[in-house]
Amino acid sequence: MKKVIAEETITVPKTEYKFLQELYRTVKRQNFLLRIEEAEKNLKAGKVKKISIDRFIESL
């Protein structure tokens, strides 16, 4: 079965557009906060990678 993609544009009212924008920002913010929370859990659990400063600078 083939997928059909229509080449059409739609008009979204300003209110709904602003709502969708804010929803997108909120989801991005929550994703970022979850990543920070996961990093903090890994630090507390001791799941850290230790390398010398020289090796770190060379890797950049």
CB 17 within 8 A of CB 11: no
For the whole model, what pTM was predicted? Answer: 0.54
Sequence-ordered list of residues with C-beta below 8 angstroms from that of 51, at least 6 positions apart, any chain: 59
Task: Please state, as a whole number, how many other Cβ atoms lie within 10 Å of the Cβ of residue 36.
Answer: 9
The mean pLDDT value of the chain amounts to: 88
Provide the domain count of the chain: 1
- Cα torsion at 25, 27, 32, 35 (round to 10°)? -170
Tell me the average pLDDT across 2-29.
87
CB 42 within 8 A of CB 48: yes
pLDDT > 80? residue 5: no
| pLDDT reported for residue 56 | 87
Range of the domain at 21: 14-59
Asked if residue 21 is part of any domain, the answer here is: yes
Asked if residue 28 is part of any domain, the answer here is: yes
List pLDDT tens digits, range 26-53: 999 999 999 999 999 999 998 888 889 9
Asked if residue 39 is part of any domain, the answer here is: yes
Asked if residue 7 is part of any domain, the answer here is: no
Asked if residue 23 is part of any domain, the answer here is: yes
Asked if residue 24 is part of any domain, the answer here is: yes
